[in-house]
A and B are shown apart, each in its own frame.
Chain A
Amino acid sequence: MVKTKSKIIQRDAVVVKFVGDSGDGMQLTGTLFSDTAALAGLDLATFPDYPAEIRAPHNTIAGVSGFQVHVGSKKIETTGDQCDVLVAMNPASLKSNLKWAKTGATLIVDENAFDDAALKKSGYTENPLDNGSLSGYNLVKAPITQLTREAVKPLGIDNKSADRSKNMFALGMMYHLFDWDFKSTFDFFEKKFKNKPEVISANKAVLQAGLNYAETMEALSSVFQVSKAKIAPGRYRNITGNIATAWGLLAASERSGRPLFLGSYPITPATEILIELAKHKSLGAKVFQAEDEIAGITSAIGASYTGSMAVTTTSGPGLSLKSEAIGLAVMTELPLVIVNVQRGGPSTGLPTKSEQSDLYQALFGRNGEAPVIVVAASTSANCFYYAYMAAKLAMEHMTPVILLTDGYLGNGSQLFRIPKVADLPAIKPPIAKANDPDYKPYRRDPATLARQWALPGTEGLRHRVGGLEKEDVFGNVSTDPLNHQKMVDLREAKVQKVADFIPEQEITGEKQGDLLVVSWGGTLGPVLEAVEEIQAEGKSVSHAHFNYIMPLPKNTAKIFDSYKKILVCELNSGQFVNYLRMTHPAHQYLQYNKVQGLPFTVSELTKVINQTLEEK
């Protein structure tokens, strides 16, 4: 074979998407690719896109699993609208993902997978590789299955086993395309298959074969060169939002000295947090996989009463089941972190897709007047920080806190600058002292209005809490009308007072101008990127992205006063914008909403923002 001489294309960012059948190992391929990118010094963001079925019928559209990686030398805010390189392992994955490839994108396909049966199953009437329909792309037809089998034949590996390594052939081709070192991937094989030397050799041989093959391909004669990103100095790692959430909670437990208790029930896309925390018993984390969502939260309430930093994790349908118990935590004024990794709803909805449609539920989804703090993370990495802050606020203000993330943040990954636990803000829960003669269950700290946390086992503090209304200060059951009014007002005031303890809202861009784009939670990346693009054109647009939802930062009204128009963008039918209309009725709000289970694309947002700027 003749080795072609590679041309070099300088790029500040490249988007790659791996797609295939759900058994083809696309998630692993994407993860290994992004780890290598990170080690090469690039900034990155990833997004896995997988079906709800574990193994949907082979070669069908329903069974397509994908993993998108955005790498770059510039700051990477999103996982990318459309990809520059699409690696498709079968016809179904090509068919369902072609719309996510840029015009002129490089398509790498396993031509061996495009047989009549597979084409038919995916709904193609003729082979797209042969009929010219892909002429607008840089099509690379690689006999991946065949070459993978040949690569491992000398090791005595049969075809069926060989086929499991096809994804590594594709990965090898990608390493050529980016001119990256594959050492970290080889290290992964060594570790992962420690007791299966034949699997290590097979994967190494296939990856090398893919790399060698790509070097000979005319169509891959140009390789990308993405220079190192300008990233703040420090120690980094790759992290998904769900792992970051789990670690943020562990950090808050350590910093507050309160042992972590998690009561949880598996649910997509939140399960990863439960799995992660279950690994960390050496840090004293007690993880209780409950019989249902309700037992998840009520066990956590029991643990909270005894002095644990109690957490329950779930997604939308689970939050519905927990509603009554959240009311109990509101009434008993016990600290509790409720993590909702949002997914598409209502009901079972779109379990593996992302949405922001649980905001109303978080704010209002309980019987009675039941205010809770609501906080939302906005990047996979800052799930760590907001999980930490959710726990801090819960314990210091003696109230449940709902932390909203979403499937997109939870499963997506990003570079994470590793903090030192000692540098995180201190957490000081108001724990009652033994034999305090002044102790009363509902006596409050005037600054926070939080009651004290009196832990069972402590001398002189025996008391009862419960779901029945309690007498102010003394905590006895009370049905007195004026007392009820007072307690309702106190619980509301306690949550509103949190505004004194959270940072002011920040703005990207000018402090005043024609348009303020408002967003919250998991949409930070695309909204910020869109705003920055338009700012670069010299237009007057600024961006406020909210992480503290209930209460809102104190300067919110002042910010809104400073712009001619306010446009609120969110992945629901307008829940945050309506909440703003309720809490800040003096302003006019425009809204842009999408509820398709998909993140915003930068291009749709720039279009909407430009239109809004132009409209009189």
Chain B
Amino acid sequence: MNNQPNLTIERSSVELTKEDFVSDQMVKWCPGCGAHAILSSVANVFPKIGYRKENFMFVSGIGCSSRFPYYVNTYGIHGIHGRAAAIASGVKIANPHLSVWMATGDGDSMAIGGNHFIHIIRRNIDVNIMLFNNQIYGLTKGQYSPTTPMGSVTKTSPQGTIEHPFNPGELVLGAQGTFFARVIDAVPRLMTEVMFEAAKHDGTSVVEILQNCIIFADKTHDTVTNKEHRDDRTIVLRNGEPMIFGKDKNKGIRLRGTKLEVVTIGENGITEDDILVHDAYQQDPGIHLMLAKMAYPHYPVALGVIRSAMYPTYDDLVEEQISYAKANGKIKCVDDLLNSGDTWVIS
């Protein structure tokens, strides 16, 4: 495992604070929108990451989430719909000394930008993706998205949706993702902790944020995230710790045959030794996929870092190939190139 932030990014010589990242722009999200908490978490975690403030960069697409770059004082591009992952890929490949962050939504990344989303993950480009999943199109005022639960009534599904939604975690792992985590907008402490882990990860990290859209899909995650029953319906995964959850800390996840199973410690002879211990860093994504897919009511929804596996990053490999070519290539400048191969002099 890797506890060091990226060494190619220059560290700040002075201690930074939250104020270093607050922009002078008025934040125009609806009051009560989950995005406010995400913005606050970013401002909290960026000083802790320790890079120079000029080395942070935000990229976004289109949607409520994608106004993010205007609200945080870093370099930034507010792009076009769905293309944030491709823009961010260009940013990181061109300048690997930047800590590149991407703010996107379920429409931006799962629908119009689905192609770029899977390919940045497949390439493992070192970009930190914050996926604001509110299961609705907010900025266009309430159409269903690729993550809207089947049967939901929205403006474009008056009789209920007839589409199977994406589980973003399943998509990330299907695209050979090396880092996937899930958090709730209403639990800032976990969000900050997970974002720090995402920043440390070399490669594409995807943090799915179960976010509430107070106007068009209010309480969409409520069945799971409501404080009343959150402890029983979610499980916070931490590397090296047993998968125990519940208000009374007596429920756990074990592997039975080829499936995960929820058990109660102390019942039917189950002890803590039967409970799976989370290994976020293992390369095999099998258990990670099962964890990412866990859904209420059969399972608790997994929160925290579900997968954080080490693989070479595309941006590192680009630098390696370029250094090799520069050291070993015969063509050192364009004049060499122009005069390479068959040439002749006419006098």
Query: Among B75, B87, B332, which residue has its beta carbon within 8 angstroms of that of A301?
Result: B87
As a 0/1 sequence over residues 81 to 102 of chain B, the CB contacts with chain A under 8 angstroms (1 = contact) are 0010011111111110110000
Give the complex CA separation of A119 and B111 in angstroms.
Answer: 53
Q: Please tell me if the beta carbons of A462 and B322 are within 8 angstroms of each other in the complex.
A: no
With A298-B90, A457-B97 already in contact, the answer to whether A237 and B115 are too (CB < 8 A) is: no
Q: Please tell me if the beta carbons of A457 and B335 are within 8 angstroms of each other in the complex.
A: no
Give the complex CA separation of A294 and B326 in angstroms.
Answer: 30
With A184-B342, A457-B55 already in contact, the answer to whether A421 and B334 are too (CB < 8 A) is: yes
Q: Please tell me if the beta carbons of A286 and B344 are within 8 angstroms of each other in the complex.
A: no
Size of the B side of the interface (Cβ < 8 Å), in residues, is 60
Query: Among B59, B339, B344, which residue has its beta carbon within 8 angstroms of that of A39?
Result: B344
Segment of B66-74, B189-197, B256-264 engaged in the interface with chain A: B66-74
Interface residues in A255-304 by Cβ distance below 8 A to B read 259, 261, 263, 280-284, 286, 288, 290-292, 294-295, 298-304
User: Can you spell out 15 A-B residue pairs with CB atoms less than 8 angstroms apart?
Assistant: A233-B347, A236-B343, A247-B337, A254-B334, A263-B90, A282-B328, A282-B329, A298-B86, A303-B90, A303-B93, A306-B94, A456-B54, A463-B76, A464-B78, A465-B76
Complex interface: chain B residues within 8 A of A459 (CB): 54
Q: Please tell me if the beta carbons of A284 and B90 are within 8 angstroms of each other in the complex.
A: no
Q: Is residue A466 within 8 Å, beta carbon to beta carbon, of the partner chain?
A: yes
Complex interface: chain B residues within 8 A of A465 (CB): 76-78
Interface residues in B206-257 by Cβ distance below 8 A to A read none
Q: Is residue B331 within 8 Å, beta carbon to beta carbon, of the partner chain?
A: yes
Complex interface: chain A residues within 8 A of B74 (CB): 462
Complex interface: chain A residues within 8 A of B326 (CB): 281-282, 284
Q: Is residue A251 within 8 Å, beta carbon to beta carbon, of the partner chain?
A: yes
Complex interface: chain B residues within 8 A of A259 (CB): 94
Complex interface: chain B residues within 8 A of A463 (CB): 75-76
Q: Is residue A332 within 8 Å, beta carbon to beta carbon, of the partner chain?
A: yes
Interface size on A, as a range, is: 35 or more
Chain B min CB distance to A613 (Å): 37
Complex interface: chain A residues within 8 A of B97 (CB): 457
Complex interface: chain B residues within 8 A of A250 (CB): 334, 337
Q: Is residue B278 within 8 Å, beta carbon to beta carbon, of the partner chain?
A: no
Given A233-B347, A464-B58, 20 other A-B residues pairs in contact with their CB atoms under 8 A: A235-B346, A236-B344, A251-B334, A280-B337, A281-B322, A282-B330, A283-B332, A284-B322, A286-B93, A298-B80, A302-B59, A302-B87, A302-B88, A303-B94, A418-B338, A457-B52, A457-B55, A462-B73, A467-B62, A477-B70
Q: Is residue B119 within 8 Å, beta carbon to beta carbon, of the partner chain?
A: yes
Q: Please tell me if the beta carbons of A302 and B94 are within 8 angstroms of each other in the complex.
A: yes
Q: Is residue A468 within 8 Å, beta carbon to beta carbon, of the partner chain?
A: yes
Q: Is residue A316 within 8 Å, beta carbon to beta carbon, of the partner chain?
A: no
Q: Please tell me if the beta carbons of A303 and B338 are within 8 angstroms of each other in the complex.
A: no
Complex interface: chain A residues within 8 A of B58 (CB): 464
As a 0/1 sequence over residues 222 to 233 of chain A, the CB contacts with chain B under 8 angstroms (1 = contact) are 000000000111
Query: Among B54, B70, B98, B330, which residue has its beta carbon within 8 angstroms of that of A462?
Result: B54
Give the complex CA separation of A290 and B119 in angstroms.
Answer: 9
Complex interface: chain A residues within 8 A of B87 (CB): 298-299, 301-302
Q: Is residue A476 within 8 Å, beta carbon to beta carbon, of the partner chain?
A: yes
Q: Is residue A558 within 8 Å, beta carbon to beta carbon, of the partner chain?
A: no
Complex interface: chain B residues within 8 A of A460 (CB): 54
Complex interface: chain A residues within 8 A of B89 (CB): 288, 290, 295, 299, 302
A-B pairs, 3 with minimum CB distance: A282-B329, A466-B78, A302-B90
Chain A's closest residue to B328 (CB) is A282
Chain A min CB distance to B24 (Å): 9
Chain A min CB distance to B8 (Å): 12
Interface residues in A324-353 by Cβ distance below 8 A to B read 324-325, 327-328, 332
Q: Is residue A38 within 8 Å, beta carbon to beta carbon, of the partner chain?
A: yes
Complex interface: chain B residues within 8 A of A468 (CB): 78
* Best-surrounded residue of A236, A250, A298, A327 (most CB of chain B within 10 A): A298
Give the complex CA separation of A546 and B277 in angstroms.
Answer: 71
Chain B's closest residue to A334 (CB) is B77
Give the complex CA separation of A39 and B343 in angstroms.
Answer: 8
Chain A min CB distance to B87 (Å): 4
Q: Please tell me if the beta carbons of B54 and A236 are within 8 angstroms of each other in the complex.
A: no
Q: Please tell me if the beta carbons of A476 and B115 are within 8 angstroms of each other in the complex.
A: no
Chain A min CB distance to B6 (Å): 14
Q: Is residue B53 within 8 Å, beta carbon to beta carbon, of the partner chain?
A: yes
Chain A min CB distance to B16 (Å): 13
* Best-surrounded residue of B86, B333, B335 (most CB of chain A within 10 A): B86
Give the complex CA separation of A325 and B334 in angstroms.
Answer: 30
Chain A min CB distance to B254 (Å): 40
Complex interface: chain A residues within 8 A of B78 (CB): 464-468
As a 0/1 sequence over residues 441 to 470 of chain A, the CB contacts with chain B under 8 angstroms (1 = contact) are 000000000000000111111111111100
With A259-B94, A456-B57 already in contact, the answer to whether A294 and B77 are too (CB < 8 A) is: no
Q: Please tell me if the beta carbons of B86 and A299 are within 8 angstroms of each other in the complex.
A: yes
Give the complex CA separation of A325 and B83 in angstroms.
Answer: 9
Q: Is residue B116 within 8 Å, beta carbon to beta carbon, of the partner chain?
A: yes
Give the complex CA separation of A328 and B60 in angstroms.
Answer: 13
* Best-surrounded residue of B73, B80, B318, B346 (most CB of chain A within 10 A): B346
Q: Please tell me if the beta carbons of A462 and B342 are within 8 angstroms of each other in the complex.
A: no
Complex interface: chain B residues within 8 A of A464 (CB): 58, 69-70, 75-78
Q: Please tell me if the beta carbons of B344 and A306 are within 8 angstroms of each other in the complex.
A: no
Query: Among B53, B70, B80, B95, which residue has its beta carbon within 8 angstroms of that of A306?
Result: B95
Chain A min CB distance to B96 (Å): 10
Q: Is residue B286 within 8 Å, beta carbon to beta carbon, of the partner chain?
A: no
Query: Among B83, B328, B332, B343, which residue has its beta carbon within 8 angstroms of that of A418?
Result: B343
Give the complex CA separation of A458 and B76 in angstroms.
Answer: 13
Q: Is residue A169 within 8 Å, beta carbon to beta carbon, of the partner chain?
A: no
